[in-house]
């Protein structure tokens, strides 16, 4: 944010003349849009990931390895919501000195996941079709 | 456990409220933070925990993420909150003004109690009315939201077109109307000068008889003349200044005069009247005048409010 503001001041004073794309990149903060877009995606991602038992921290690491960085404080509330809806099932493991809650997908979760994946696929098809049409215009 | 981690979890716990799952949520966050500190910084120290806590987010933000689907009042009720509060405040304030003029207390079950107060106390009491009404409406909407049912709340439409009313207040005053009012007023003044009263018990050709005692006659007649005079004077001012403030000040002045009249005790003011209880009738008439003036006062306040709001947002208001 500081970076963006200070650059804007330079631009205002005419010290720095940016190219058009550069201005767009610097002045629009896309993080709120990204958060909005990620909300549904993360839900599907978790349902896919939980084919095997996992706990919060291991999921974060796994997703990071796959190139998807997420805010940890977003994951746990999501897991709780999915558990409440019966899509995943949680179980505390207290065998080690630190208790961990392991989650795994349920039968209902698998059904929902299959449908969500279909919806995602259809959305992609529509998007691609529209982008293609735009290219032809 | 580290003090920082303990404080962090304690603060999150405060924001989470009193949910059943609170302890489980906190245990899960604690477990995550400790594991991350150990895995990423080699060991769990105060400084490694502090770094992980900082990256986990502010306690309030963390707690809010668990409450995304919990609302105190549904955002869709924002309009209802404002509209219901405005309506309730209008009625409540008008009643408070009446109570102030009559120097009495009002109790309307089950929620409203307006204490007996003097003008100075009223200055503090009136803003409290707004806060009270806002709170009351808020509580009702809270219960409606928490019920989780799809309740359709009524949407009272103001039949009065405030916009139109505000515009009509700005109309140019008519000379003819003013002359008519002035002549009527002078006629009243003439009657008062001649008979020292404006209230008569009988108008026999042989001799008129005043309704009140001489002192009360003078007092009430002068009060009536002052109230009417304030109205005519305000109309005259409108030839030069066409502002809603003129109406507001007029209503305020008339209310003050009425308040003074009511609160001045006059012994045996009303003479015996055989047909019906004249005291009751007199009280009712004064109450009616007070109510009309109070509504007028409120109307001016609302119109001024709408104008100020319009200036701010520059959009049409229905």
Report pTM: 0.59
Instruction: Quote the pLDDT of residue B67.
Output: 85
Q: Does residue A7 sit within a domain? A: no
Distance of alpha carbon B286 from alpha carbon B261, whole angstroms: 10
Distance of alpha carbon B265 from alpha carbon B282, whole angstroms: 14
For B317, the enclosing helix (H) or strand (E) is: none
Is B60 in the A-facing interface, judged by CB distances under 8 Å? no
Give the residue from B141, B157, B173 where a domain finishes. B157
The interaxial angle of helices B214-237 and B175-195, nearest 10 deg, is 160
Q: What ipTM describes this predicted complex? A: 0.76
Instruction: Quote the pLDDT of residue B159.
Output: 62
Domain count along chain B? 3
Is A84 in the B-facing interface, judged by CB distances under 8 Å? no
Q: Does residue A130 sit within a domain? A: yes
For B209, the enclosing helix (H) or strand (E) is: strand B207-210
Q: Is B43 exposed, middle or buried (0-12, 13-18, 19+ CB in 10 A)?
A: exposed
pLDDT band (50, 70, 90) for residue B162: low
- The CATH number covering residue A120 comes to 1.10.10.10
Judgement on whether residues B288 and B308 belong to the same structural domain of the protein: yes
The CA distance from B43 to the nearest CA of chain A, in Å, is 14
Judgement on whether residues B296 and B173 belong to the same structural domain of the protein: yes
Cα-based distances in Å from B129 to B43, B79, B88, B92, B193:
59, 20, 9, 7, 44
Q: Does residue A2 sit within a domain? A: no
Q: Six-digit token pair at A70? A: 């997420």
Distance of alpha carbon B117 from alpha carbon B106, whole angstroms: 11
Q: Is A118 exposed, middle or buried (0-12, 13-18, 19+ CB in 10 A)?
A: exposed
Judgement on whether residues B113 and B218 belong to the same structural domain of the protein: no
Domain residue limits at B96 = 75-157
Closest of B63, B57, B52, B51 to residue B18, by C-alpha:
B63
Distance of alpha carbon B221 from alpha carbon B266, whole angstroms: 14
Between strands B112-114 and B200-204, the pairing is unpaired
Closest of B289, B229, B303, B282 to residue B97, by C-alpha:
B289
pLDDT tens profile B110-131: 778 888 988 788 888 988 999 9
Q: Does residue B132 sit within a domain? A: yes
Q: Which of A72, A80, A100 sits opposite B56 (nearest CB)?
A: A72
Cα-based distances in Å from B240 to B166, B236, B243:
18, 8, 9
A32-36, A71-75, B11-15, B60-64: segment of lowest average pLDDT: A32-36
Judgement on whether residues B185 and B300 belong to the same structural domain of the protein: yes
Q: Which of B24, B31, B66 sits opposite A77 (nearest CB)?
A: B66
Rounded to the nearest 5°, which phi and psi values hold at A93? -110, 115
Distance of alpha carbon A87 from alpha carbon A92, whole angstroms: 17
Please give the average per-residue pLDDT across A65-80, as a whole number: 90
Instruction: Quote the pLDDT of residue A15.
Output: 54
Q: Does residue B12 sit within a domain? A: yes
Please give the average per-residue pLDDT across A106-128, as a whole number: 95
Closest of B216, B317, B316, B221 to residue B271, by C-alpha:
B216
Is A72 in the B-facing interface, judged by CB distances under 8 Å? yes
Helix (H, G, I), strand (E, B) or coil at B208: strand
Q: Does residue B216 sit within a domain? A: yes
Q: Cα B156–B157–B163 angle (5° rounding)?
A: 145
Instruction: Quote the pLDDT of residue B8.
Output: 95
Length of chain B: 318
Q: Does residue A11 sit within a domain? A: no
Which residues from chain A sit within 8 angstroms of residue B69, using beta carbons?
81
Q: Indicate the Cα dihedral angle B166, B172, B174, B177, nearest 10°.
A: 20
Q: Does residue B193 sit within a domain? A: yes
Domain count along chain A? 1
Domain residue limits at A90 = 31-136
Contact of B145 with B73, CB cutoff 8 Å: yes
Q: Does residue A47 sit within a domain? A: yes
Q: Six-digit token pair at B317? A: 């208001």
Judgement on whether residues B177 and B278 belong to the same structural domain of the protein: yes
Q: Cα B219–B254–B244 angle (5° rounding)?
A: 160
Judgement on whether residues B112 and B9 belong to the same structural domain of the protein: no
Distance of alpha carbon A14 from alpha carbon A62, whole angstroms: 46
Is B40 in the A-facing interface, judged by CB distances under 8 Å? no
Contact of A106 with A88, CB cutoff 8 Å: yes
Q: Does residue A39 sit within a domain? A: yes
Q: What is the mean pLDDT of chain B?
A: 83
Helix (H, G, I), strand (E, B) or coil at A101: strand
Cα-based distances in Å from A91 to A82, A101, A102, B262:
14, 5, 5, 75
Between strands A88-93 and B106-108, the pairing is unpaired
Q: Does residue A86 sit within a domain? A: yes
Q: What is the mean pLDDT of chain A?
A: 84
pLDDT of A51 strictly over 90: yes
Judgement on whether residues B148 and B239 belong to the same structural domain of the protein: no
Which residues from chain B sit within 8 angstroms of residue A99, using beta carbons?
27, 31
pLDDT of B318 strictly over 60: no
Is B70 in the A-facing interface, judged by CB distances under 8 Å? no
Contact of B166 with B309, CB cutoff 8 Å: no
Q: Which of A73, A80, A100 sits opposite B61 (nearest CB)?
A: A73
Judgement on whether residues B114 and B235 belong to the same structural domain of the protein: no
Give the residue from B157, B186, B203 where a domain finishes. B157
Cα-based distances in Å from A75 to A42, A117, B32, B55:
8, 20, 11, 14
pLDDT tens profile B188-222: 999 889 888 888 777 776 677 777 777 778 888 88
Distance of alpha carbon B171 from alpha carbon B44, whole angstroms: 78
pLDDT band (50, 70, 90) for residue A3: very low
Q: Does residue B38 sit within a domain? A: yes
Judgement on whether residues B22 and B112 belong to the same structural domain of the protein: no
Q: Does residue A18 sit within a domain? A: no
Instruction: Quote the pLDDT of residue B14.
Output: 92
**Between B132 and A11, the higher pLDDT residue:** B132
Judgement on whether residues B144 and B169 belong to the same structural domain of the protein: no
Instruction: Quote the pLDDT of residue A28.
Output: 81
């Amino acid at each position: 944010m500081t970076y963006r503001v200070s650059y804007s001041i330079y631009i205002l004073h005419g010290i720095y003349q940016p190219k058009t794309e550069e201005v767009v990149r610097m002045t629009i903060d896309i993080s709120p849009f990204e958060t909005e877009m990620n909300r549904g995606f993360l839900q599907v991602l978790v349902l896919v990931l939980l084919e095997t038992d996992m706990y919060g921290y291991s999921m974060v690491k796994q997703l990071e390895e796959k190139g998807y960085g997420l805010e940890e404080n977003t994951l746990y509330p999501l897991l709780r919501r999915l558990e409440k809806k019966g899509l995943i099932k949680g179980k505390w493991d207290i065998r080690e000195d630190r208790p961990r809650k392991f989650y795994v997908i349920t039968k209902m979760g698998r059904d929902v996941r299959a449908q969500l994946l279909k919806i995602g696929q259809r959305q992609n098809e529509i998007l691609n079709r529209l982008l293609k049409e735009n290219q032809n215009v | 456990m580290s003090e920082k981690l303990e404080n962090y979890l304690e603060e999150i716990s405060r924001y989470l409220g009193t949910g059943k799952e609170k302890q489980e949520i906190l245990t899960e966050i604690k477990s995550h933070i400790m594991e991350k500190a150990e895995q990423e910084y080699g060991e769990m120290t105060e400084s490694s925990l502090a770094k992980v806590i900082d990256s986990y987010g502010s306690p309030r933000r963390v707690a809010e993420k668990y409450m995304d689907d919990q609302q105190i009042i549904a955002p869709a009720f924002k309009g209802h909150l404002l509209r219901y509060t405005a309506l309730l405040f209008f009625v409540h304030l008008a009643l408070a003004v009446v109570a102030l003029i009559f120097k009495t207390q009002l109790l309307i079950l089950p929620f409203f109690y307006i204490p007996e107060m003097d003008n100075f106390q009223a200055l503090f009491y009136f803003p409290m009315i707004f806060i009270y009404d806002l709170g009351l409406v808020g509580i009702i909407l809270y219960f409606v939201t928490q019920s989780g049912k799809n309740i359709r709340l009524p949407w009272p439409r103001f039949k009065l077109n405030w916009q139109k009313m505000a515009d009509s207040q700005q109309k140019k005053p008519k000379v003819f109307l003013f002359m008519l009012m002035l002549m009527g007023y002078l006629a009243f003044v003439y009657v008062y000068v001649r008979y020292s009263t404006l209230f008569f018990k009988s108008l026999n050709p042989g001799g008129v008889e005043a309704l009140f005692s001489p002192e009360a006659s003078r007092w009430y007649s002068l009060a009536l003349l002052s109230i009417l005079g304030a109205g005519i004077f305000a109309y005259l001012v409108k030839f030069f200044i066409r502002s809603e403030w003129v109406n507001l000040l007029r209503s305020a002045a008339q209310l003050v005069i009425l308040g003074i009249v009511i609160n001045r005790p006059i012994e045996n003011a009303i003479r015996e009247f055989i047909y019906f209880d004249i005291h009751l009738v007199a009280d009712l008439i004064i109450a009616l005048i007070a109510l009309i003036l109070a509504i007028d006062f409120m109307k001016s306040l609302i119109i001024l409010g709408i104008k100020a709001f319009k200036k701010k947002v520059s959009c049409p208001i229905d």
